[in-house]
Amino acid sequence: MTQSPGLRRVMGGFDATTVGVGAMIGAGAFVVFSPASASAGALLPLAVVIAGFVAYCNAAATASLAVHYPSSGGTYLYGRERLGPWPGFLAGWGFVTGKLASCAAMALTFGLYAAPGAEKAAAVAAVVGLTVVNLLGVTRTALATRVIVALVVPVLAFVVVVAFTAPAAPATGSAAPGGVDGVLQAAALLFFAFAGYARIATMGEEVRDPRRNIPRAIFGALGFTLALYLLLALSLLHALGPEALAASTAPLLDVVDAAAQPDGAAGVLDTVVVAAAALASLGALLALIAGVGRTSLAMARNRDLPPVLSRISTRFGVPWVADVTTAVVVVVLLLATDVLTVVGFSSFGVLVYYAIANVSAFTLSDRQWYAPRWLNAVGAAACLVLAFTLPATSVLTMLGVLAAGVAVRFAVLARRRRRA
């Protein structure tokens, strides 16, 4: 039996950073601010800062672990190596299932902006097209993401300037509708938008000089995106106010529409923002498909998923079976479910994933300066607190999915023991 080829280290630090930024801005800028504002009200910027701090804890843990284990799989691999097979499986299963739902949400977001009325057909086409890009090799993935980020970030900067220069929304005296609970729930929802830097770690087997480039890429992507999100939160609150922001289905469009009404340029600006939203969701979807495929590859290598998923293309150096399987599952989700309800579901799975990352990093004896042991402890506790402040439906659904995965793995292991 011939050994499957490994992945190729072809991404530099800039490409890895771009993949992380591309994964985050699509999820955050156009999807999550309205539901987060509904929970936090005028304290939305505080929720962004809390989510950003927890993301930094997780980024520090991920970066320090990636230095020691620069292979595909992210926290699935780290949990397995540092804590044992079961914590590793729980992290991997939570990531794969949560991010499959996120893939479907990003695809449908693209469809809603690019082809309203035929959004599911457009979403399926996006999944198929981006899967083909991934199958052509990680350099194609990085190049496509770089182009998307270069086009989307200037549009977001333009919206921030327009929102800050607009007349301030009338003050209503609203703070956080749910008090502390509301701010924490908003931070948990916003965490959905910060999780893109994990893609850098899950693709760690394809990054050149990983001990140097992976930490730099993770912190660079997170720092850039945190600053952008904070500016967006402040500017949207200034222009729309907490209530209008919470009620809006497309707050960035609402801001440019209001600014363009006097000179009649709303149609042109709407087209620009819609195009940016579509591109940003494509960038997030592209990175998500790649990340899910690499984690599935790592799990299949250890027989925690069917071994066929570990097959790697000799020509292009990508886990082609895992990527194609990811696409098939996402298309099924698009056609069979209401995928825009999965933000909380995905956030819970990813928060569990990062709690395990922090505990794994806590066990390291060789410490990196940016990841002291106390920060790992704070990060693990914060992830669990945010996870259980999410809506009960999201928590119970994801707990059921995790329990189902544990039950199936237990049954498979028992059968293997009987055969042995």
pLDDT > 80? residue 86: yes
The CA distance from 86 to 51, in Å, is: 27
State whether residue 207 is helix, strand or coil: strand
The DSSP-derived string for 72-137 is TTTHHHHHHHHT-HHHHHHHHHHHHHHHHHHHHHHHHHHHHHHSTTSHHHHHHHHHHHHHHHHHT-
- Per the structure block, which two tokens stand in for 284? 């997030």
pLDDT for 412 equals 92
Residues 6+ apart with CB under 8 A from 117: none
Mean of the pLDDT values across residues 65-89? 87
Q: Per the CATH hierarchy, to which homologous superfamily does domain 13-419 belong? A: Amino acid/polyamine transporter I (1.20.1740.10)
- Per the structure block, which two tokens stand in for 100? 């499959």
The CA distance from 296 to 259, in Å, is: 46
The CA distance from 263 to 228, in Å, is: 28
Q: What is the pLDDT of residues 198-213, one digit of tens each?
A: 667 666 667 777 777 8
**The pTM of the whole model exceeds 0.85:** no
The CA distance from 37 to 354, in Å, is: 24
Nearest to 222, CA basis, from 13, 24, 368 = 24
- Per the structure block, which two tokens stand in for 18? 């771009």
pLDDT > 90? residue 361: yes
Which percentage of the chain shows pLDDT scores above 70?
Answer: 86
CB atoms within 10 A of CB 132: 13
The mean-pLDDT minimum among 216-230, 330-344, 360-374 falls in: 330-344
Q: What is the pLDDT of residues 142-169, one digit of tens each?
A: 677 778 788 888 988 998 998 898 888 7
The confidence band for 1, taking pLDDT boundaries of 50, 70 and 90, is: very low
| Domain residue limits, the chain | 13-419
The CA distance from 266 to 262, in Å, is: 9
pLDDT > 70? residue 226: yes
Which percentage of the chain shows pLDDT scores above 90?
Answer: 28
Nearest to 416, CA basis, from 332, 303, 270, 289 = 303
